[in-house]
């Protein structure tokens, strides 16, 4: 698989402000009153408007790609605000898809930053994630920053920690359950202006306990040593592994490890009517994780497994009255 990434230049300024609304974007300067002719950052709903525009362009270039015979199992794109990642199974298919993307950007007079473009890489960093054909994992470029993270001194520091680790929560099993005490600490934040910075630091120091420090170190190591979430192969069998705790059910969507001959052989044997690969995955055949589905409602039963064939056919798993609709997961996202 090959990837191309680029960043739209000048951000929100890509969008013209209608003349009828420019007076709402007025501001004073030492030289007098001015109004923005393009959408500035900070304007109400500027973010949603820009994201909507990006998604509209993505829809149009995908429609153009479809007319040219390019299908979603060969090419695709991920758009995060002004960052675009295009991918394809081959260089030629990606090049054809890239033509559709650039035609759409040109139609809307959208510009990109050439110095930030990355062309036809088999592995690259995109918005904090190392993306490659085998799967995704937290970018190694951030390892030094994660190792340097210190315990929070203010409520703003704690909120930053929760948000930063939350971005990588797909690599952190039971993340929300594990940080429940951190969220409980946030509920003790004084009303704005009612406490000095020194008083706020004292409150955090009193509420921050040794288990919180241990959890912080564990989360740092789990991000740094994060497992690769594998890229799904839609032509092969999928497996859903589950486990239980007092909080509820956790599930992992997996496939047999293609690099393990025993796993591949067991999968082929199962397809021919042999025993399920999951029945002996603890002793021999390996499964690679693709997607974590965590903290589902608590229901009776433990250690139950489900297996499915072609995921292009919509599947609904009924777990003793609780529906887990895997149609929502297809096709599995690149990020």
238-244/305-308 β-pairing: antiparallel
Q: Distance between CA atoms of 144 and 221, rounded to whole angstroms?
A: 11
Percent of the chain predicted with pLDDT > 90: 29
Structure tokens at 189: 């934040």
Query: Rounded to whole angstroms, how far apart are CA atoms 175 and 10?
Result: 35
Cβ-Cβ contacts under 8 Å for 90 (sequence gap 6 or more): 2, 74
pLDDT of residue 209: 93
Residues 37 and 46: beta-carbon distance below 8 Å: no
DSSP secondary structure, 12-45, as one string: GGGSBPPGGGGGGGEEEETTEEEE-SBPPTTSTT
> How would you write the pLDDT of the chain (335 residues) with one tens digit per residue?
899 998 888 888 888 888 998 898 998 989 999 999 999 888 888 889 999 999 999 999 999 999 998 887 788 898 988 899 999 989 999 999 999 999 999 999 888 888 888 999 988 888 888 888 777 777 777 788 888 889 999 999 999 999 989 888 878 878 888 999 999 999 999 988 888 889 999 999 999 999 999 999 999 988 887 666 666 776 777 777 776 666 666 677 777 777 777 777 777 777 777 666 555 545 455 676 666 654 444 333 333 433 333 333 333 333 333 333 333 333 334 44
Q: Which residues lie across from 316 on neighbouring strands?
A: 325
Angstrom distance (rounded) from CA 255 to CA 239: 6
pTM of the model: 0.63
CB atoms within 10 A of CB 141: 10
| Residue-level pLDDT at 333 | 40
């Amino acid at each position: 698989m090959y990837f191309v990434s680029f960043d739209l230049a000048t951000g929100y300024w890509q969008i013209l402000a209608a003349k009828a609304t420019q007076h709402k974007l007025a501001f004073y300067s030492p030289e007098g009153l001015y109004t923005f002719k393009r959408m500035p950052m900070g304007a109400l709903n500027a973010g949603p408007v820009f994201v909507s525009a990006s998604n509209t362009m993505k829809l149009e270039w995908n429609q153009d790609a479809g007319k040219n015979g390019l299908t979603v199992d060969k090419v695709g794109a991920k758009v995060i605000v002004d960052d675009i990642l295009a991918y394809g199974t081959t260089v030629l298919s990606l090049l054809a898809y890239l033509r559709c993307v650039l035609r759409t950007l040109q139609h809307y007079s959208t510009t990109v930053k050439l110095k930030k473009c990355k062309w036809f890489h088999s592995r690259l960093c995109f918005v904090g994630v190392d993306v490659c054909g085998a799967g995704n994992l937290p970018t190694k470029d951030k390892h030094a920053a994660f190792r340097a993270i210190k315990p929070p001194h203010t409520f703003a520091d704690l909120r930053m920690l929760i948000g930063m680790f939350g971005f990588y929560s797909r690599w952190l099993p039971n993340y929300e359950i594990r940080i429940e005490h951190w969220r409980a600490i946030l509920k003790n934040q004084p009303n704005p202006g009612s406490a000095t910075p020194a008083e706020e630091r004292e409150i955090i120091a009193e509420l921050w306990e040794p288990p919180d420090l241990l959890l912080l170190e564990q989360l740092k190591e789990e991000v740094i040593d994060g497992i690769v979430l594998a890229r799904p192969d839609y032509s092969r069998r999928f497996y859903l592994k589950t486990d239980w705790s007092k909080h509820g059910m956790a599930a992992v969507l997996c496939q047999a490890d293609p690099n393990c001959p025993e796993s591949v052989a067991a999968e082929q044997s199962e397809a021919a009517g042999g025993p399920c690969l999951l029945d002996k995955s603890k002793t021999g055949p390996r499964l690679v994780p693709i997607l974590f589905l965590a903290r589902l409602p608590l229901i009776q039963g433990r250690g139950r497994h489900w297996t499915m064939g072609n995921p292009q056919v919509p599947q609904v798993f009924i777990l003793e009255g609780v529906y887990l609709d895997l149609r929502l997961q297809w096709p599995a996202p690149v990020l």
